[in-house]
Every structure is written in structure tokens, then in C-alpha cells.
Structure 1
Amino acid sequence: MNPLRLSAVSLLLAAMAGAALAAESMDGGLSRHAFSEPQMGTEARIVVYAHDGAQARRAAGAGFARIRQLDAVLSDYRSDSELRRLGARAGAGPVHVSADLFAVLQAAQSLAERSDGAFDVTRGAVTRIWRQARKLDEMPDPVRIRQALASGSYRDLQLDPERGTVSLARPGIQLDVGGIAKGYVAEQALQAIRAAGAERALVALGGDIAVGAPPPNEPGWRIDVAPLDVPGAPPGTTLLLKHAAVSTAGDAEQWMEIDGVRYSHVLDARTGWPLTFRSTTTVVAPRGLQADGLDTAASVLGTEAGLRLVAGVPDSAVLMVRQDPDGRVQRVASKDWPSPAPTTVTAALETFP
């Protein structure tokens, strides 16, 4: 992987291997420090501006610790995660869950309702079938897909905010929050870094990025949205962000090709089948929890419905680039999609608890 690439989003920042540390003197007594660790199946990167290395290490350490904590809550891969334990109690009545898991499921349910089921975290059985298919490089049995779809939907997931409980109405429902969790983790890691005294920070988990106050003497963090890798695609663009989140969904990394058809890892939760066209969808939003879910849902819904979905979230915008079956490339963006840098997008990530 190119060290400057983070999924379909690349940072104009130096990537650091392992837990290495880099520092560069800046005005105001702050210096730049970059850290990297393998987390949540990807490379977690944290950049902070601090007065010295000790402060930077404390802040980054708090961010990585929060990421590890949330991985134990939200992972679909860990059999001991809180998410998997909840799934094991499907059909058994209300289960009290942590505030983090409740927050993610609550946001997922809201998105499921607004997308009419195009986004649905109760389709874990379907995503596991396609995950295995990509591993074996073979098509899954359509009968298995239909059976997995019949196990339940978001309508079988009930939340009780007053009691902090979750109920999965039907046995066999499996949860997968992979389409929304990394954005939440990135924003929460950023909050932990800020609490440790570093206001000027960035957290990246693959294609999910959350940024706080900008680097010293800069209007924002420069983030490059890479172009769709097909002939005739428009060039990428550079964003300048502060106190915001950005997330990209597409088929640039996870996909399989069978009989000349490219199957994305992005699934339409209504049908149980992946998208089969080249696309990239990038969302800028106040919170990572918003940006991460919106980019997936908008990808599935398509340009018109996707634009309407994102427009329903204040201070959010979307850029969609898609290749039609005839090879033509379409670029669609919100009317308030940020212009290339140095335009600054300001959101209110720091105002959230």
C-alpha cells in the first residue's frame, strides 16, 4: 500500500511505521508528532501537535487506548466482543448494553429508517456469507442469501433509551456494525486525545477520519479525496477540514471478480447482494458516526436518494463518483460540497460529549 493512502482517502501527512514518532518544530511552541498502530483490521494513525514528545505520547496513548476499548465493544470479528455477546442473546429479551454500543445502534437504527433499510446492521448473517465468498473467491449460494435475509431486519431491533437496553426480537439475528463503527471510534479517539490536552489532532482509521483544531498557522487539515480509479474519472480533490469528520465508501480495496463482474464489499441490505459497479462516495459531516454510516447508505441508494439522505443531516455534504454500465462516469455532489482547498469546512465535532 502506498504509505500516503488511507483507503479512498489519502492524507497529505507523513505516514509513520509501527509506533514510531516524528516531530517538526512549529510556531507557538508546538511540534507535530505522528503515531501508527494496527487496530481494528486496519492501520490506525494519530497525528497531534504538542509542546513536547511526552505530551504527544500521552495524548496519542489515550487515543489508542480508546480505540482498543471500543474494538472490544464493537468488533464483529472478536467472539468475546460486546456486540457478539448481544447477538448470542437474540430472542432472549432486553439486554443492558454499554453506552458506546447503544449509541452506535441508535445511530444505525435512525439511518436504517431514513434509508428504508438500505443500511441495516442486523444483516450480519449476510455480510458473513459474502466475507467467506471473498476469501474463497467464489459466488455464494443464492439460497443461503435468501435464508440469511429471512433471519430478521432492523425492524426486529428494539432500543429502550430510558433503560439502556437492546432487544433482538428473533433468534438467529446477527449484528454487524462495520458500516458505521470506525467513524464512531475515530471521533471517540479524537475526544480522548483532546481530553489529554492535545486540541490539534487527527485520527484516521482506514477511510474514516476525524479532525479537531487545525495545525498551527493553518486553516485546516489537508485531506485528499482520491479519484475513482477508472478511465475518464474526474480528478480527486483536496479538502481543508477542522472540527469535522470525513468518510469514504467504495470498492477500491475490498472486492472480488467472478465471470467478469466486480462485486464490491458494499452490500445493499435490502437484497443481500453487493454493488456491481465502480463507485466512490465521500461524506463530510460534523461527526464520524454520521459520516461513516452516510457514505455506505448513500452508495447503496444512488445519486438522487443518496443526496437527499445526506441533505437531511445538518452541515453534511456528499461527493459521489460512479461508473455506469456503459462505462460513462458520473460525478454528483451536494450543492454545498466543499470547493477544493483552501476553502475551510467547519463543523461542531468538539461540541459533542
Structure 2
Amino acid sequence: MFAAPGGEINPPSGPRLVANVLKGEPSRFEFESKHMGTTFRIVLYATDKAVAKKAADAAFTRVAQLDATMSDYKKDSELTLLCKAFATDVGDPVAVGDDLFFVLQKADELSKKSDGAFDVTVGPVVQLWRLARRTQQFPDAKELAAARAKVGYQKVKLDTTKKTVRLTIPGMQLDLGGIAKGYAADEALKLLREKFGITQALVAAYGDITCGDPPPGEQAWKVDIAPIAKSQKPRTLKLANAAVSTSGDLEQFVEIAGVRYSHVLDPKTGVGLTGRRSVTVIAPNGITADSMTKAVSVLPPEQGLKLVDATPGAATSIVVLGQNNKPVVTASKRFPDE
């Protein structure tokens, strides 16, 4: 079983692994590897242990490649080098690789649809809040104002023909923490399918889970969503060829002067969310589910529901802690019933 804000992956019952392998039937294999600041887990079904391991290793290598491309921690990542190119002046557009451009393009699309509730230019503010979490002190007002001046998705110019990027204000920093893991999970699952023919698989990255075909004899993967309040029971979702992402302050938050600030920041205020909220989004792919949970977390519930309902194949459940820590649940039209 897999415990995370995204929930638990419940294994179906069945014959023992060794017996299955001897019969040539698909057996369940699980692999883990640390990337992007979290643990990626792959659950797959295959008839051969060696093939299963080779496939998982290749998928993890793909995730590592994406981490080397999109990390804002690594000094030599493509993302870091892109931002460095505009550290002191705006200069000429910079050509980037297919992966980075695709993610930036998807981020820009959601930024426009959400009116900036999702915004990867929030990097300068994220840096201040990383320090705040370490020091337990609210960011300096002047520093926060200076950081906010560099935020705004409209300040990123993408050329879809040449696949170039231009940052229009010196010192901008892009942060793909709210979208990269979902894309990495998608790409890992894609590699398992296309290179190894493994379709019955699932890739999980903390609260981001992308599912392929269901396990043998099952109609879906069963994923338990962890509750925001102890009084709630986990919510079980049944998914196949879809993704789910959950975002909230269950584990990632900082408390300063008695106020609890979520790791999810409002790009327009530059401040971590203070209302206790857990957002779950189901979507056709991980990149959509991952990024949309952040947008819905920032938006008022009514606007979040409208955004999700307008997205093909997407659904959301928003849980807000109200008075006396009583959870109030609001779900979109397509979110599955209990």
C-alpha cells in the first residue's frame, strides 16, 4: 500500500508472485527511486522479473533526465541556465529543449485559463518562503515586494515556431514544482508502454499518481485519498488510464506567529495559503492533474469548479475545514460518487 497525500494504492489479492512467474502470468512488481525531491514509485505487472526491473530502471532514468532539465535546485539544469541568461538583462530569446518548452507551454495555458492562479514565474517568492520555513520568520516586506514585482506569467514570451523563451524582466526565476512531477509521471508511464509493452502500470510521485491499464482481473486501480481531518475516512478512487493529484497543507506548511501557511502560494499576493484546504483533481494525464490542483487551491471554490468543469475529462473535490474543524466538501460535476 502506498501512503501519501495522494493516498494509498491498494494491491489486488491473487496468487503469489513466484507462482505467477512460473506460470507465465503477469505478476506485481514495485520499485522506488528518489527524484525531484521526493520518492517516485512504480507499480507494474510483468511476466519476467528481469524485464520488470529493466523497464523500471529505464523509467527512472527518464525521470532523472527531466529532473536535470527542470530543477531549480540544480545549478546546471536547463531551467536554471535559462533563468541565468536573463539574470541582469532581458537579451535575446533562448532556445530550449522539447520537454522544457512543452511544460512551459502547458503552464502558460493554465495560467491564462486560471487568471494567474497558477503561475510558474513565482520562483522569486518561493525562494523567500523556503527561507521562511527554515527560519520560522515571515519574509521581509521589502524583499517580498521586490520578489512579487518579478512575478507574472505575462512576462514570459514563448515562440512556438522556434521553441524559444524570453523573460522580459531581469532576475525572473521560474519554478516548475507544481507541474514537473505530473509530467515526469506521464513520461515514465509512456516509456513503460512504448519501449517495453508494459501497459498495466502506475507511477506515483508523492501526491501525483498516473495510472495505466488496471491490474490483471481488475477494472481499475484503487487509490485511497488521505483525509484533511482525522474525523474523515480516506476516500477510495477507482482509476484506469487517468491521473490524480492531491494538494494541501497536510504535511507541507510553516507556522509563523500562530498562523499556518501552506506551501502552496498565491502568485498574486506572494503569501502561502492560510485556509485549511485539500484539493484533489482527476484528469486524463498527470501534467494536468498536478498543475490544476495548485490553481484550484488558490482560486475560490466556485471558480475552481468552473475551471475544472471546463477542462475535458477533469474532475475535482475541494475539502475546506470550516468552523470547529468540520470538513466542508464541494465536488465538481464529474467527480465520482462514493
TM over 0.5: yes
Q: Matches of 1:81 and 1:108 in 2, distance apart?
A: 18
* 1:157 and 2:156 matched: yes
Q: Which amino acid aligns with 2:272?
A: P
Asked if the contact 1:8–1:252 (Cα under 8 Å) also holds between the matched residues in 2, the reply is no
For residues 70-95 of structure 1, the C-alpha deviation after alignment (integer angstroms, 9 at most, x for no partner) is 00011111111111111111212211
Mark the CA change 1:241 to 1:23 in structure 2 (over 3 Å): closer, same or farther: farther
**Residue in structure 1 matched with residue 261 of structure 2 by the alignment:** 263
Q: Which amino acid aligns with 1:235?
A: K
Alignment of 1:165-184 (within 5 A): 165-184=164-183
For residues 257-297 of structure 1, the C-alpha deviation after alignment (integer angstroms, 9 at most, x for no partner) is 12221110000001101111211100000011100010000
Asked if the contact 2:124–2:151 (Cα under 8 Å) also holds between the matched residues in 1, the reply is no
Q: How far off its partner does 1:23 sit?
A: 6.4
Mark the CA change 1:153 to 1:28 in structure 2 (over 3 Å): closer, same or farther: same
Alignment of 1:6-155 (within 5 A): 6-13=4-11, 25=20, 29-90=25-86, 91-155=90-154
Alignment of 1:229-248 (within 5 A): 229=229, 232=231, 234-248=232-246
Asked if the contact 1:264–1:276 (Cα under 8 Å) also holds between the matched residues in 2, the reply is yes
For residues 162-206 of structure 1, the C-alpha deviation after alignment (integer angstroms, 9 at most, x for no partner) is 111111111111000101111001001100111222111010011
Asked if the contact 2:42–2:201 (Cα under 8 Å) also holds between the matched residues in 1, the reply is yes
Q: Which amino acid aligns with 1:86?
A: L
Asked if the contact 1:93–1:169 (Cα under 8 Å) also holds between the matched residues in 2, the reply is no
Unaligned ranges ≥5, structure 1 = 15-21, 341-353
Q: Matches of 2:218 and 2:151 in 1, distance apart?
A: 49
Q: Which amino acid aligns with 1:267?
A: L
Q: How far off its partner does 1:63 sit?
A: 0.9
Alignment of 1:201-216 (within 5 A): 201-216=201-216
Asked if the contact 2:229–2:327 (Cα under 8 Å) also holds between the matched residues in 1, the reply is no
Q: Matches of 1:229 and 1:137 in 2, distance apart?
A: 24
Mark the CA change 1:203 to 1:117 in structure 2 (over 3 Å): closer, same or farther: same
Q: Which amino acid aligns with 2:75?
A: S
Q: How far off its partner does 1:320 sit?
A: 0.6
Q: Matches of 2:323 and 2:145 in 1, distance apart?
A: 26
Q: Matches of 2:209 and 2:331 in 1, distance apart?
A: 20
Q: How far off its partner does 1:153 sit?
A: 1.3
Q: Matches of 1:13 and 1:127 in 2, distance apart?
A: 37
Q: Which amino acid aligns with 2:65?
A: Q
* 1:252 and 2:247 matched: no
**Residue in structure 1 matched with residue 225 of structure 2 by the alignment:** 225
Mark the CA change 1:215 to 1:137 in structure 2 (over 3 Å): closer, same or farther: same
2:312 partner SS:
coil
Q: How far off its partner does 1:152 sit?
A: 3.9
Asked if the contact 1:277–1:325 (Cα under 8 Å) also holds between the matched residues in 2, the reply is no
For residues 104-158 of structure 1, the C-alpha deviation after alignment (integer angstroms, 9 at most, x for no partner) is 1011111111111111101100001001110122211122111101124111101
Unaligned ranges ≥5, structure 2 = none
Asked if the contact 2:309–2:333 (Cα under 8 Å) also holds between the matched residues in 1, the reply is no
Q: Which amino acid aligns with 2:213?
A: A
Q: Matches of 2:19 and 2:127 in 1, distance apart?
A: 44
Mark the CA change 1:297 to 1:335 in structure 2 (over 3 Å): closer, same or farther: same
Aligned length: 329
Asked if the contact 2:94–2:164 (Cα under 8 Å) also holds between the matched residues in 1, the reply is yes
Q: Matches of 1:329 and 1:23 in 2, distance apart?
A: 45
C-alpha RMSD of the superposition: 1.8
Q: Matches of 1:13 and 1:261 in 2, distance apart?
A: 39
- List structure 1 segments (4+ residues) > 4 angstroms apart after TM superposition: none
1:122 partner SS:
helix
Q: Which amino acid aligns with 2:130?
A: R
Q: How far off its partner does 1:60 sit?
A: 0.7
Q: Matches of 1:88 and 1:322 in 2, distance apart?
A: 39
Q: Matches of 1:184 and 1:313 in 2, distance apart?
A: 17
* 1:286 and 2:281 matched: no
Asked if the contact 1:59–1:197 (Cα under 8 Å) also holds between the matched residues in 2, the reply is no
Q: Which amino acid aligns with 2:252?
A: Q
**Residue in structure 1 matched with residue 322 of structure 2 by the alignment:** 324
Q: Which amino acid aligns with 1:75?
A: S
Asked if the contact 1:249–1:295 (Cα under 8 Å) also holds between the matched residues in 2, the reply is yes
Q: Which amino acid aligns with 2:249?
A: D
Q: Which amino acid aligns with 1:69?
A: Q
Identity across aligned pairs (percent)? 46
* 1:200 and 2:196 matched: no
Q: How far off its partner does 1:226 sit?
A: 1.2
Q: Matches of 1:275 and 1:28 in 2, distance apart?
A: 51
Asked if the contact 2:243–2:289 (Cα under 8 Å) also holds between the matched residues in 1, the reply is yes
Q: Matches of 1:259 and 1:24 in 2, distance apart?
A: 58
Asked if the contact 1:104–1:181 (Cα under 8 Å) also holds between the matched residues in 2, the reply is yes
Q: How far off its partner does 1:57 sit?
A: 1.1
Asked if the contact 1:23–1:33 (Cα under 8 Å) also holds between the matched residues in 2, the reply is no
